[in-house]
Structure 1
Amino acid sequence: MPTTTSPAFDAAAIAIYALVLLVPGVLVGYAAGLRGWILAAMAPLLTYAVGGLTGPWLHALGIPFGIGSFLLALVLFVAVAAGVRWLSRRGRWARPEEPHVPWARTGHLAVLGCVVLASVVGGYVVLTGLVQLGAISQGFDAVYHANGIRYIAETGDGSVTGMGTTNWFDAEIFYPNAYHLVAAVDYQIGTASIPVVLNTNTLLIPGMLALSFAGLVRQFRGRAVLAGASAILAVVPTAALYESMDRGPLLPFLVGLALTPLGAVALQRYLARPALDSGLVFVLAAVGLLTVHSSTLFAGILFALPMLAQRWIVARGHRLRTMGRDGLALLAAAVASVLVAWSQLFGALGLAGGDIPYLGWDSEAGLPGAIGNLLTFQHAVPTPQLATMAALVLGIAFVRRLGALRWVAATAVLCGTLYVAVATSDSAFVMALSRPWWDDPFRFVAMATVPLCLLAAHGLAESQAWARDRLALARPFAGGRIPRAPVAAALAVVVLGGYAVASNGLYTRTNAKTVYDGYHEGPGTDVYGMVVSPGEAQAMLELGKRAQPGDWAMNDRYDGTAWTYAIGGVRTVAGHFDGSLVPWDAAVLGARFRDYDWDPDVQETVARLNVRWVIVGRGGHPLDSLRETGVRDLDGLPFIELVYRNDDASVYRVDRIFDPGTVVPAGAPARAYGPLPAP
């Protein structure tokens, strides 16, 4: 298979992408005053904010997006952050820093170990499911992201509508593109193919969520044991991450989901100390969530609303003053966010009211089933995580001991209620309410699982605290003959180790199998029946060797060859499986390409798009009945020549291109054409 990689290559690809994600954010965050765990946790989100703002603004200025322009923009972001930080520490702008509850050095090391362990476990699960880092997703969504990344890298078009032209080439379709812009930087480094770029980022997502949890607990003054436990539990539930890697995969959504807790981190810092530097970090966090995916900002709001409510409730005697001050601070941040991210905001609003059809998803469960899915951390995969459920029960029982993080329970209730509504109802109200997430139960159950993970981690942490307190009353410990700190650390290891055993190795086998099904379609897969088989991928590479810059290829929207641009570098008439709002040119060619010799509309369209090749695959995404008639039975047609074939795919060269003004050749067979597709 052309995407095969070696362990050394995999390690290098993962390390490079990790640096691309972390280094820009670390530089901006450090300049803005972030330190320690908060700096590390916020770094990926700040990187996406930098990329997500840089691409559209460069496009507005007529400057191509690429490694060079991204680095120059990064220097500007760092300079602005440093200047804002300087102002915030001097004169009337100065505000005192909010101190963190100290963790012992061993606590920091333990949390670091848990984050690293979680990242390794999550990465192992994903890589085991992929089998190899260059595996090609068999889902519906990945091809759009893959083609979009290559489009940005090759054209430098960082606008919020540019990459949509890979499929809707005669329309402006908005899609938030921070995910693709950062991935394009990684791709331009030149060490990996597009499938490897996609999968490397996917492999890093569990670690990003683990790091986000650690930063959240740190910001809200939680214990180190809770931070470590939450990091480990972040990579366990199938419904949180791995189901959406199988189905879709919903890649920008998953990145946004992993970063969602950081919105609450930035908001709490800003409201506790409303200064220019904390305000800048909050604006960048909000913009980062928005530019990764529009729904992520809404998810971040849902996640943080209970935090605001708890903040105002505990204010008591000065509640109105706190609410008024917070309102003014949020208004200022909102104005700044609109100013810097207006193209994303108005693009998202235009998409909601645009022509793309919104049909939603059918309800999938009754009320008991939906609630059961939440409590057992399962969804489409029928494997209840009983060990995680037991931890959740303990977390709910000890919820009052969450302290400044008690609001997480309300977040779980809020997100869980939305999942239950979407899973059980097809009402117009529910569909309207859930439109930012396309009324998709998979997305809602993932969103609900995130705060539930924190509650389950709290259950494990409180188990350790309970055992610690009981032992503290025993005579050897109370008398000081046995140091307490090592005992507490040992208890944490016992609790987390016991959970790992009870969960059959953190459910890694189930999760890896779930990922596998999205890339290989189950055990014993017939590779010839895959959406994109190894042979089809090889044909795409062969086409890339033969085509000249600017050449396009005719293809079937439904046979997997929509991946041709991402893999082989040749633009195709159909760049996505999505058949909604099909361009007029694509509709004409899809229906009547094989009539090229006598159809003037086909001749003119082929010439205008510079269609010089045809690629046809054997597999397919939907049913064969949806195949496009214009590219069926091409062998023997006089205007094309077969230049490459394997068991899975064929590549043809178009032998002659008609001048767009040329009439149909005299004596051509008479055809009874139906009406042309609507423009």
Structure 2
Amino acid sequence: MTWLDLAWASTVAAAIVVLPGLLLARAVGLRGVWMWGLSAPFSVTAIALAALVAPFIGLTWSWIPAVLFTVVLAAALWGARWLTVTRRARAVDASADAAASGSVTAGARTAGSWAFAVGVLLAAAMIAVRSVQIIGEPGGISQTFDNIYHLNAVRFILDTGSGSPLDVGAMTSAGLWFYPVGWHDVATLVVQLTGVTIPVAVNTTWIVFSAVAWPLGIVLLARVLGGSKPAVAISAGLAAASIPAFPYLLVDYGVLYPYQAGVALVPAAVAATVALFRLGRDSTGLDPVWSAVALAGALPALALTHPGAFMAWLAFSLPIAVIALIRLLRSGAAARSRIIAVAGFAAYLLIGFVAIRVLRPPLEATLWPAIGLAGQALGEVITVSMYHTPIAEVVAIAMITGVVFAAIRRRSADWIAMSLLAVAGTLYIIVAGVSSATIRNLITASWYNNTPRLAALVVIAVVPLAAIGVAGLWQKLTESRVYDRLVASRGRVLRVVVAALAIVLLGLSMQGRSIAGAVDGASKSYRITPKSALISSDELRLLEELPALVPEDVAIAGSPWTGAGLAYAISDRRVLMPHTLMDISDDIEIINDELDEADAGAALCAALDAENVGFVLDFGSREVHGGEHVFTGFDDLATSDSVRLVREIGDARLYEITACGGLE
């Protein structure tokens, strides 16, 4: 696969992540920056729900159910709006909404729209370049533990024809009745529509969520909290591409592709929440009912991509709900309205408590320890160096400046901006610096008590405040006498040149050693070398030859810890163990334990026949986590009479099973 293949696949992936959402946003009544800002979560909602519904109506997963569901949903929304909102009511509601939110003039809104586009494009370009540097080659494979599952899950969806969260869990466990696969559904569509390999599609998908979905959402959130002045959107775009903890950390650590995609969608949902309560500095132009519909359209994308993303929205929505309640209670509203508001807030807290208890992994998956002390974690938040990354000096200064400006102004949007940082910072301090298992399990277990996952959430709060800080400083500069005398009085051209120069300098200064270090560190985990952790260069060559060596209907044995399980994703050949953490049947256990024994017993022969296993991959003893998981049936393949060597590339070997007479 070439870089042109990656570029083509990325274009298709961007269309998948944006176009369905644009149609749905128009149907809801959104326009301009709101239509674009909410397009990604709307698209993922439509795709994930289509994948859920498709098996029930007899459709296999492809672009057909995705398009059908999107069109039907859009038509239903359009019909509902036509029935409930007259043309005159829309105009009245839009005017009232704009007045209530303190929106700016039409001219300023237009200026903010082009600035929104500039901010998004700057972030997209910078993140795309950094992402390409990370993967190194179009089919670069993250040499990490979780990537075994993610690559094979895409193949499983292609094979079974179902991208339903009710079905995909069966790849590793018949008892796993639900697994969120919104990200995998998108990656599968990329494979189907472009014909690229699964590794290329996987890289394409995470790059698009990083460089398209993330900038659209975070620049929208910055605009809602910081206003529509061009400096806000442009500086938000620059900051969004300049913090190691997101989007770069999560495509290095783990690797956490679904969670990374979910986090990329969170800012748009938070912006919609602020707009619903009319607390922001920009309005959707919708009445409260349709503002609620817009928010409701974004939330399934979070839940069906990764529950941790939904929990992140829930955490960020808490201060928004509190500020909205305080504002209502102080407004002199009627007693009935106050009672309804208090009851609604109580119901919200109850739902949140239930979600905290339900949307959490098993206890054994939450045993990640703190990585330092609480004071150290606080310092990392202040210096924007979460998870011990190098300090992002310029972003940190901009964020602190933004806190100062917000504290001075004290508008509702400013309080929200500061409270988002307080929430994300508190969660990070608890997970990174508190050793009490009781406290961590009570508050951060929904994120596996895992520091990198909470580090990423801090970035959502940092970017809007950094944008507020930069915009505030730029306003002070442009209002100064020195600027007026040296720049403003000399004409528009010079003002544009100075502004462009400021953007370039700000962008370059933000892309400092912290980003260079993050990209360099992440790139190492994507390099395929003779000793790479998950799959070596020799092993990859053998997997690429496998389709010519192994018949299509024959299964392959081998240890998934050594990368042998990737024969499923890369070679399109069924493997006994597509992941390390999975249910092992009695037949598979017998094969794992007895395959290389001199005399094949009846139990082994029956197991080989039941699973239709004809080959075994021996990728040595090096495991992705550096551990040791012994499968005694693969220990002595080189000297066993039960197998015959078919192909050997370096230390990577493919054996045909000759025990029990082999396959007939």
Q: TM-score, normalised by structure 1?
A: 0.86
- Render the CA deviation track for 1:338-361: whole Å, top value 9, x for unaligned: 9xxxxxx9999877476x833420
CA-to-partner distance for each residue in 1:306-338, whole Å, 9 max, x for gaps? 222223333422466666566788999999x99
Q: Which piece of structure 1 moves more, 6-15 or 321-330?
A: 321-330
Output the amino acid matched with 1:531: L
1:251 corresponds, among 253, 257, 267, to 257
**In the alignment, which residue of structure 2 is the partner of 1:194?**
198
Alignment partner of 1:224 is 2:233? no
Q: Pick the aligned partner of 1:631 from 634, 652, 656.
A: 634
Partner SS, residue 436 of structure 1 = helix
2:308 is the alignment partner of 1:311? no
Q: What's the offset of the Cα at 1:222?
A: 3.8
| Residue 434 in structure 1 maps to residue 436 in structure 2 | no
Say yes or no: does 1:124 pair with 2:129. yes
Deviation at 1:45, TM superposition (A): 0.7
1:384 aligned residue (387, 391, 396): 391
Moved more, 369-378 or 262-271: 262-271
One-letter identity of the residue aligned with 1:134 = G
Residue 467 (structure 1) aligns with:
477
Q: Distance in 1 between matches of 2:342 and 2:265?
A: 24
Q: How does 1:227-242 map to 2 (within 5 A)?
A: 227-242=233-248
Q: Quick one: distance in 2 between partners of 1:350 and 1:445?
A: 22
Is residue 562–residue 572 contact of structure 1 (8 Å, CA) maintained in 2?
Answer: yes
Shift of 1:163: 2.2
Q: Does 1:206 align with 2:210?
A: yes
Q: Which amino acid is the alignment partner of residue 598 of structure 1?
A: A
Partners of 1:552 and 1:571 within 8 A in 2: yes
Map 1:467-486 to 2 at 5 A: 467-471=477-481
Q: What is the distance in 2 between the residues matched to 1:301 and 1:511?
A: 29
Q: After the TM superposition, which residues 512-523 of structure 1 pair with which residues of structure 2 at under 5 Å, given as runs?
A: 512-520=519-527
Aligned pairs for 1:56-75 within 5 A: 56-75=52-71
- CA gap of 1:584–1:380, structure 2 versus 1, over 3 A, is farther
Structure 1 residues 171 and 449: CA distance shift in structure 2, 3 A: same
Unaligned runs of 5+ in 2: 279-285
CA drift at 1:658: 7.8
2:93 aligned residue: 96
Task: Compute the displacement of 1:650 (Å).
Answer: 1.3
1:361 matched to which residue of 2? 368
Letter in 1 for 2:201: V
Which string of whole-angstrom CA distances, capped at 9 and with x for unpartnered residues, describes residues 512-552 of structure 1? 212213213xxxx8523432122212222222333334422
1:544/1:349 CA distance change after superposition, 3 Å = farther
User: 1:288 maps to which residue?
Assistant: 301
Aligned equivalents of 2:532 and 2:513: distance in 1? 32
* Alpha carbons 2:130, 2:519 under 8 Å: kept: yes
Match of 2:271 in 1: 265
Task: For 2:187, give the aligned amino acid.
Answer: A
Contact 1:118 1:210 in 2 (8 A): yes
C-alpha displacement at 1:590, in angstroms?
2.7
Determine if the alignment matches structure 1 residue 178 to structure 2 residue 182: yes
Distance (Å, rounded) in 1 between the aligned partners of 2:661 and 2:171: 24
Residue 149 (structure 1) aligned with residue 162 (structure 2)? no
CA distance in 2, matches of 1:214, 1:252: 21
Is 2:546 the partner of 1:543? yes
Which whole-Å CA distance do the structure 2 matches of 1:156 and 1:532 have between them? 27
Distance in 2, matches of 1:88 and 1:329, equals 24
Distance in 2 between residues matched to 1:639 and 1:29, nearest whole Å:
61
SS in structure 2 of the partner of residue 79 of structure 1: helix
* Structure 2 equivalent of residue 160 of structure 1: 165
Shift in alpha-carbon separation, 1:134–1:318, aligned structure 2, 3 A: farther
Aligned to 2:614: 612
Give the secondary-structure state (helix, strand or coil) at the position aligned to 1:641. strand
Please point out which of 24, 37, 60 is paired with 2:33: 37
Contact 1:174 1:348 in 2 (8 A): no
Contact 1:125/1:512 (<8 A) preserved: yes
State whether residues 269 and 278 of structure 1, in contact with CA within 8 Å, keep that contact through their aligned partners in structure 2: yes
C-alpha contact 1:541 1:567 (8 A) present in aligned 2? yes
Please identify, of 270-279 and 54-63, the stretch whose mean Cα deviation from structure 2 is larger.
Answer: 270-279
CA contact (8 A) 1:360 1:431 kept: no
SS in 2 for 1:463: helix
Contact 1:640 1:655 in 2 (8 A): yes
Q: Output the CA distance in 1 between the equivalents of 2:599 and 2:339.
A: 72
CA shift, 1:36, in A, is: 1.1
1:411 aligned onto 2:420: yes
Please, which moves more after superposition, 501-510 or 128-137? Answer: 501-510
Distance across 2 between alignment mates of 1:191 and 1:133? 14
Q: 1:6 to 1:659 in 2, by over 3 A?
A: closer
What is the CA distance between 1:230 and its match in structure 2?
0.9
Q: 1 CA distance for matches of 2:233 and 2:546?
A: 50
AA partner of residue 65 (structure 1): W
Counterpart residue type for residue 12 of structure 1: W
SS in 2 for 1:460: helix
* Aligned-partner Cα distance in 2 for 1:104–1:317: 28
Deviation at 1:33, TM superposition (A): 1.2
Partner of 2:594: 592
**Contact 1:93 / 1:275 at 8 angstroms: preserved in 2?**
no
Distance in 1 between residues matched to 2:588 and 2:238, nearest whole Å: 48
Query: Residues 324 and 608 (structure 1 numbering): CA distance in 2 closer, same or farther, change over 3 Å?
Result: farther
Secondary structure, aligned partner of 2:242: coil
The answer as to 2:516 corresponding to 1:509 is yes
After the TM superposition, which of the residue ranges 99-108 and 345-354 deviates more from structure 2?
Answer: 345-354
Which residue type is aligned with residue 616 of structure 1?
D
Partner-residue secondary structure (3-state), 1:134: coil
Residue in structure 1 matched with residue 461 of structure 2 by the alignment: 451
CA distance in structure 1 between the partners assigned to 2:77 and 2:607 by the alignment: 50
Matched to 2:171, the amino acid is T
Structure 1: gaps (5+ residues): 339-344, 661-679
Q: Paired residue for 2:283?
A: none
Q: Is the CA contact (8 Å cut-off) linking 1:253 and 1:293 kept in structure 2?
A: yes
Alignment of 1:657-668 (within 5 A): none
Residue identity matched to 1:362? P
Q: Please give the alpha-carbon distance, in whole angstroms, between the structure 1 residues aligned to 2:273 and 2:359.
A: 27
- When structure 1 is superposed on structure 2, of 212-221 and 326-335 the one drifting more is 326-335
1:646-676 CA-partner distances (Å, limit 9, x unpaired): 114111222356899xxxxxxxxxxxxxxxx
Distance 2:194 2:486 in 1: 61
Q: Distance in 2 between matches of 1:396 and 1:384?
A: 18
1:327-366 superposed matches below 5 A: 352=360, 357-366=364-373
Please give the alpha-carbon distance, in whole angstroms, between the structure 2 residues aligned to 1:468 and 1:545.
67
Matched, 1:643 2:633: no
Between the aligned partners of 2:169 and 2:471, the Cα distance in structure 1 is 46
The 3-state SS of whatever aligns with 1:447 is: helix
**1:323 to 1:576, Cα distance in 2 relative to 1, 3 A:** farther
Inter-CA distance 286–529: structure 2 relative to 1 (3 Å threshold): closer
Q: Which moved more, 1:623-632 or 1:442-451?
A: 623-632
Inter-partner Cα distance in structure 1 for 2:50 and 2:355: 16
- Deviation of the 1:72 alpha carbon: 1.6
Q: 1:528 aligns to what SS in structure 2?
A: coil
Aligned residues of 2:119 and 2:238 also touching (Cα < 8 A): yes
Letter in 1 for 2:132: L
Deviates more, 1:314-323 or 1:281-290: 314-323
Shift in Å, 1:572? 1.3
Which of 403, 425, 430 aligns to 1:421? It is 430
- SS class of match (1:176): coil
1:80 counterpart (76, 79, 82): 76
Q: Secondary structure at the match of 1:643?
A: strand
